[in-house]
């Protein structure tokens, strides 16, 4: 689908909100967190296609990122107010209405047993996960400022490239949706590689620390057991 075809097929609500400028873009980003009508990368590229110049592009990226964070805080607040047990029961009963399965919710909640910042950050660049990750974060009462910081960085990492790509391709005849799909795959792969590298580095550092502090080595100065 070319840029002109994508713009022509944009839903009326999107076109209407876009007519309000940055305020409309901000509202669209919030709405996307609650009503995922189509893949977020398509919406972001559509916004980029409609941006007139570079200064507006920078402001649009800021507006979209702010809206995404506010939308995430909405889910976070719902989780915080109702708590883990009631949220889980609600997901079990009504999650299907918003395409949120209980098993998927449980996996998101389990992920927070690891590093809260990195789970929140990485979740913002994974389709589907980025929409609902804030719900278990709020239910588990994660530290709000850490959540906001990680969500902001993650949203910027996800939103920025697609808006820029839409802006670059707005006058080309390329298939915009296919290009956006491959960009999404590339972002997920790059982020996965970075997270694996960080995880391996942390494990190696922890292993060295454990080896240094082990009782046998600590008692013998690192030269093995002492014979009497």
DSSP one-letter string for the chain = --HHHHHHT--HHHHHHHTTTHHHHHHHHHHHHH---S-HHHHHHHHHHH--SHHHHHHHHHHHHHHHHHHHHHHHHHHHHHHHHHHHHHHHHHGGGGT--HHHHHHHHHHTTS-HHHHHHHHTTSTTHHHHTHHHHHHTT--HHHHHHHHHHHHHHHHHHHHHHHHHHTTS-S-HHHHHHHHHHHHHHHHHHHHHHHHHHHHHHHHHHHHHH-HHHHHHTTS-PPP-
Q: Residue 20: its pLDDT value, please?
A: 87
- Average pLDDT estimate for 74-101: 89
Q: What is the pLDDT of residues 109-135, one digit of tens each?
A: 888 877 788 888 888 888 778 888 899
Residue 50: is it exposed, middle or buried by C-beta count within 10 angstroms (0-12/13-18/19+)? buried
**Sequence-ordered list of residues with C-beta below 8 angstroms from that of 198, at least 6 positions apart, any chain:** 118
Alpha carbon distance 206, 168 (integer Å): 44
Where are the domains positioned within the chain?
A: 3-216
**Sequence-ordered list of residues with C-beta below 8 angstroms from that of 193, at least 6 positions apart, any chain:** none
Alpha carbon distance 173, 184 (integer Å): 20
Residue 36: is it exposed, middle or buried by C-beta count within 10 angstroms (0-12/13-18/19+)? middle
- Average pLDDT estimate for 53-81: 94
pLDDT, the chain, mean? 79
Q: Residue 14: pLDDT band by 50, 70, 90 thresholds? A: confident
Q: What is the pLDDT of residues 147-195, one digit of tens each?
A: 999 999 999 998 998 899 888 887 666 666 666 666 767 766 775 676 5
Q: Residue 86: pLDDT band by 50, 70, 90 thresholds? A: very high
Worst-scoring range by mean pLDDT, 72-76, 116-120, 142-146, 149-153?
Answer: 116-120
Specify the residue for token string 């009782």: 215
Q: Residue 71: its pLDDT value, please?
A: 95
């Amino acid at each position: 689908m070319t840029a002109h075809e994508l713009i022509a097929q944009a839903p009326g609500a999107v076109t209407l909100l876009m007519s309000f400028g940055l305020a409309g873009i901000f509202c669209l980003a919030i709405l996307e967190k609650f009503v995922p009508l189509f893949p977020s990368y398509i919406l972001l590229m559509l916004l980029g296609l409609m941006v007139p110049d570079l200064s507006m592009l920078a402001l649009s990226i800021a507006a979209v990122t702010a809206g995404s964070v506010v939308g995430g805080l909405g889910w976070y607040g719902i989780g915080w107010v109702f708590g883990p047990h009631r949220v889980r029961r609600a997901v079990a009963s009504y999650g299907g209405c918003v395409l949120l399965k209980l098993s998927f919710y449980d996996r998101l909640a389990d992920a927070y047993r690891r590093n809260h910042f990195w789970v929140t950050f990485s979740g913002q660049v994974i389709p589907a996960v980025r929409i609902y990750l804030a719900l278990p974060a709020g239910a588990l009462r994660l530290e709000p400022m850490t959540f906001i910081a990680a969500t902001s960085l993650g949203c910027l990492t996800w939103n920025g490239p697609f808006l820029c790509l839409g802006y670059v391709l707005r006058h080309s005849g390329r298939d915009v949706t296919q290009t956006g799909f491959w960009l999404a795959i590339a972002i997920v792969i790059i982020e996965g590689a970075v997270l694996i590298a960080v995880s391996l580095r942390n494990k190696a550092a922890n292993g060295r620390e454990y080896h240094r502090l082990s009782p046998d080595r600590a008692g013998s100065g690192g030269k093995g057991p002492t014979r009497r």
